[in-house]
Amino acid sequence: MGKKKLILIGGGGHCKSCIDVIESAGEFEIAGILDVKEKVGSNIGGYSIIATDEELDRFPAEDYYFLITIGQIKSAGIRKRIFEQLIVTKKRLATVISAHALVSKYSSVGAGTIVMHGAKINAAARVGDNCIINTNANVEHDCMIGDHVHVSTNAVLNGECNVGNGSFVGSNSVLVNGITIGEAVIIGAGAVVNRSLNTPGIYAGNPCRKIH
Protein backbone atom coordinates (compact mmCIF):
# COMPACT_ATOMS: atom_id res chain seq x y z
CA MET A 1 0.00 0.00 0.00
CA GLY A 2 1.30 3.46 -0.92
CA LYS A 3 1.59 6.50 1.28
CA LYS A 4 -1.54 8.34 2.39
CA LYS A 5 -2.22 11.62 0.59
CA LEU A 6 -1.97 14.62 2.90
CA ILE A 7 -3.18 18.20 2.53
CA LEU A 8 -1.49 20.83 4.70
CA ILE A 9 -3.45 23.89 5.84
CA GLY A 10 -1.21 26.91 6.36
CA GLY A 11 1.91 27.84 4.42
CA GLY A 12 4.04 29.87 6.85
CA GLY A 13 7.16 29.16 8.86
CA HIS A 14 5.60 26.40 10.95
CA CYS A 15 4.61 24.62 7.76
CA LYS A 16 8.28 24.45 6.71
CA SER A 17 9.17 22.63 9.94
CA CYS A 18 6.15 20.34 9.60
CA ILE A 19 7.19 19.31 6.09
CA ASP A 20 10.55 18.10 7.39
CA VAL A 21 8.83 16.10 10.13
CA ILE A 22 6.26 14.60 7.73
CA GLU A 23 8.99 13.52 5.33
CA SER A 24 10.93 11.88 8.18
CA ALA A 25 7.89 9.93 9.37
CA GLY A 26 7.33 8.42 5.92
CA GLU A 27 3.62 7.65 6.35
CA PHE A 28 2.16 10.47 4.25
CA GLU A 29 2.71 11.95 0.81
CA ILE A 30 2.12 15.71 0.76
CA ALA A 31 -0.37 16.40 -2.03
CA GLY A 32 -0.43 20.17 -1.60
CA ILE A 33 -0.82 23.13 0.74
CA LEU A 34 -3.78 25.43 1.34
CA ASP A 35 -3.26 29.10 2.19
CA VAL A 36 -4.56 32.57 1.33
CA LYS A 37 -5.52 33.35 -2.25
CA GLU A 38 -2.47 35.57 -2.81
CA LYS A 39 -0.11 32.63 -2.19
CA VAL A 40 -1.79 30.13 -4.51
CA GLY A 41 0.72 28.97 -7.12
CA SER A 42 3.77 29.55 -4.94
CA ASN A 43 5.99 26.84 -3.49
CA ILE A 44 7.14 25.79 -0.01
CA GLY A 45 9.83 23.15 0.41
CA GLY A 46 9.10 21.71 -3.00
CA TYR A 47 5.33 21.53 -2.46
CA SER A 48 2.80 23.79 -4.17
CA ILE A 49 0.13 25.94 -2.57
CA ILE A 50 -2.77 24.62 -4.59
CA ALA A 51 -5.88 26.26 -3.11
CA THR A 52 -7.31 28.23 -0.18
CA ASP A 53 -8.80 26.73 2.97
CA GLU A 54 -12.19 27.88 1.69
CA GLU A 55 -11.90 25.23 -1.02
CA LEU A 56 -11.83 22.17 1.25
CA ASP A 57 -14.71 20.63 -0.67
CA ARG A 58 -12.36 20.09 -3.61
CA PHE A 59 -10.59 17.39 -1.60
CA PRO A 60 -12.83 14.39 -0.82
CA ALA A 61 -12.55 13.04 2.71
CA GLU A 62 -12.10 9.49 1.44
CA ASP A 63 -9.04 10.46 -0.64
CA TYR A 64 -7.07 12.73 1.66
CA TYR A 65 -5.86 13.31 5.20
CA PHE A 66 -5.44 16.83 6.57
CA LEU A 67 -3.00 18.53 8.95
CA ILE A 68 -3.20 22.11 10.22
CA THR A 69 0.26 23.62 9.77
CA ILE A 70 -0.49 27.10 11.09
CA GLY A 71 1.61 28.02 14.11
CA GLN A 72 0.31 29.01 17.53
CA ILE A 73 2.03 31.57 19.76
CA LYS A 74 -0.77 33.13 21.77
CA SER A 75 -4.33 32.34 20.77
CA ALA A 76 -5.29 28.89 19.48
CA GLY A 77 -8.31 30.45 17.79
CA ILE A 78 -7.35 30.01 14.14
CA ARG A 79 -6.17 26.41 14.58
CA LYS A 80 -9.31 25.58 16.58
CA ARG A 81 -11.63 27.15 13.98
CA ILE A 82 -10.09 25.18 11.13
CA PHE A 83 -10.06 21.99 13.21
CA GLU A 84 -13.77 22.34 13.92
CA GLN A 85 -14.41 22.95 10.21
CA LEU A 86 -12.57 19.73 9.36
CA ILE A 87 -14.57 17.80 11.93
CA VAL A 88 -17.90 19.16 10.70
CA THR A 89 -17.05 18.24 7.12
CA LYS A 90 -15.90 14.77 8.25
CA LYS A 91 -12.32 15.15 7.02
CA ARG A 92 -9.68 12.72 8.23
CA LEU A 93 -7.01 14.28 10.45
CA ALA A 94 -3.43 13.07 10.29
CA THR A 95 -1.38 12.38 13.40
CA VAL A 96 2.32 12.89 12.60
CA ILE A 97 5.20 11.75 14.80
CA SER A 98 8.76 12.51 13.76
CA ALA A 99 11.08 9.58 13.19
CA HIS A 100 13.42 11.44 15.56
CA ALA A 101 10.92 11.77 18.44
CA LEU A 102 10.63 9.34 21.35
CA VAL A 103 7.00 8.50 22.07
CA SER A 104 6.19 5.78 24.59
CA LYS A 105 3.95 2.97 23.39
CA TYR A 106 2.10 3.48 26.68
CA SER A 107 1.18 7.08 25.79
CA SER A 108 -1.50 8.42 23.43
CA VAL A 109 -1.40 11.19 20.84
CA GLY A 110 -4.61 12.69 19.42
CA ALA A 111 -5.86 13.36 15.91
CA GLY A 112 -4.32 16.31 14.08
CA THR A 113 -1.35 16.50 16.47
CA ILE A 114 2.25 16.75 15.30
CA VAL A 115 5.23 15.65 17.41
CA MET A 116 8.37 17.36 16.15
CA HIS A 117 12.02 16.28 16.00
CA GLY A 118 13.62 15.41 19.34
CA ALA A 119 10.41 15.63 21.35
CA LYS A 120 9.76 13.08 24.09
CA ILE A 121 6.39 11.83 25.33
CA ASN A 122 6.76 9.37 28.15
CA ALA A 123 4.67 6.56 29.59
CA ALA A 124 1.01 7.15 30.48
CA ALA A 125 1.05 10.68 29.05
CA ARG A 126 -1.96 11.76 27.00
CA VAL A 127 -1.76 14.45 24.31
CA GLY A 128 -5.07 15.72 22.90
CA ASP A 129 -6.19 16.65 19.40
CA ASN A 130 -4.72 19.38 17.18
CA CYS A 131 -1.64 19.95 19.35
CA ILE A 132 1.94 20.92 18.54
CA ILE A 133 4.63 19.18 20.58
CA ASN A 134 7.54 21.16 19.27
CA THR A 135 11.23 20.45 18.81
CA ASN A 136 12.92 18.89 21.88
CA ALA A 137 9.89 19.38 24.14
CA ASN A 138 9.68 16.88 27.01
CA VAL A 139 6.28 15.65 28.18
CA GLU A 140 6.88 13.41 31.18
CA HIS A 141 4.94 10.44 32.54
CA ASP A 142 1.24 10.82 33.37
CA CYS A 143 0.91 14.32 31.91
CA MET A 144 -2.51 15.18 30.50
CA ILE A 145 -2.49 17.73 27.67
CA GLY A 146 -5.79 19.04 26.32
CA ASP A 147 -6.76 19.92 22.76
CA HIS A 148 -5.29 22.80 20.70
CA VAL A 149 -2.20 23.08 22.96
CA HIS A 150 1.26 24.15 21.80
CA VAL A 151 4.18 22.89 23.90
CA SER A 152 7.02 24.93 22.44
CA THR A 153 10.69 24.19 21.84
CA ASN A 154 12.65 22.71 24.76
CA ALA A 155 9.76 23.12 27.21
CA VAL A 156 9.69 20.61 30.06
CA LEU A 157 6.46 19.29 31.55
CA ASN A 158 7.37 17.18 34.55
CA GLY A 159 5.36 14.19 35.69
CA GLU A 160 1.60 14.39 36.28
CA CYS A 161 1.12 17.91 34.93
CA ASN A 162 -2.20 18.88 33.34
CA VAL A 163 -2.49 21.51 30.60
CA GLY A 164 -5.93 22.81 29.60
CA ASN A 165 -7.36 23.30 26.13
CA GLY A 166 -5.92 26.08 24.00
CA SER A 167 -2.94 26.85 26.22
CA PHE A 168 0.62 27.68 25.17
CA VAL A 169 3.77 26.58 27.00
CA GLY A 170 6.70 28.72 25.85
CA SER A 171 10.22 27.74 24.86
CA ASN A 172 12.54 26.59 27.66
CA SER A 173 9.80 26.89 30.28
CA VAL A 174 9.54 24.34 33.08
CA LEU A 175 6.40 23.05 34.77
CA VAL A 176 7.17 21.39 38.09
CA ASN A 177 5.68 18.02 38.95
CA GLY A 178 1.94 17.71 39.40
CA ILE A 179 0.70 21.22 38.62
CA THR A 180 -2.36 22.15 36.57
CA ILE A 181 -2.52 24.83 33.86
CA GLY A 182 -6.06 25.94 33.01
CA GLU A 183 -7.51 26.72 29.59
CA ALA A 184 -6.20 29.61 27.45
CA VAL A 185 -3.13 30.16 29.62
CA ILE A 186 0.05 31.49 27.99
CA ILE A 187 3.36 30.59 29.63
CA GLY A 188 6.21 32.83 28.47
CA ALA A 189 9.59 31.60 27.32
CA GLY A 190 11.89 30.54 30.14
CA ALA A 191 9.21 30.69 32.84
CA VAL A 192 9.32 28.37 35.84
CA VAL A 193 5.81 27.34 36.84
CA ASN A 194 5.79 26.09 40.42
CA ARG A 195 2.09 26.42 41.18
CA SER A 196 -1.19 25.68 39.43
CA LEU A 197 -2.60 28.45 37.21
CA ASN A 198 -6.36 28.42 36.71
CA THR A 199 -6.99 31.96 35.42
CA PRO A 200 -6.50 32.66 31.69
CA GLY A 201 -3.74 35.17 30.96
CA ILE A 202 -0.04 35.57 30.26
CA TYR A 203 2.48 34.37 32.83
CA ALA A 204 6.25 34.87 32.84
CA GLY A 205 9.30 34.84 35.08
CA ASN A 206 10.98 32.63 37.68
CA PRO A 207 8.86 31.90 39.57
CA CYS A 208 6.15 32.83 37.07
CA ARG A 209 3.62 35.57 37.77
CA LYS A 210 0.67 36.94 35.80
CA ILE A 211 1.73 39.89 33.64
CA HIS A 212 -1.43 40.38 31.57
- Give the residue numbers annotated as catalytic, written as ranges: 141
Q: Is 61 within 8 Å of 91 (Cβ atoms)? A: yes
What is the number of residues in the chain? 212
Bridge partners, 120 (sequence order): 102, 138
Name, in order, each residue with C-beta under 8 angstroms of 20's C-beta and a sequence gap of 6 or more: 45, 117
Calpha distance 150→113 (Å, rounded): 10
Phi/psi region, residue 118 (left: phi>0; alpha: psi -120 to 50; beta: rest), is left
Q: CA torsion 132→160→128→103, rounded to 10°? A: 60
Calpha distance 113→122 (Å, rounded): 16
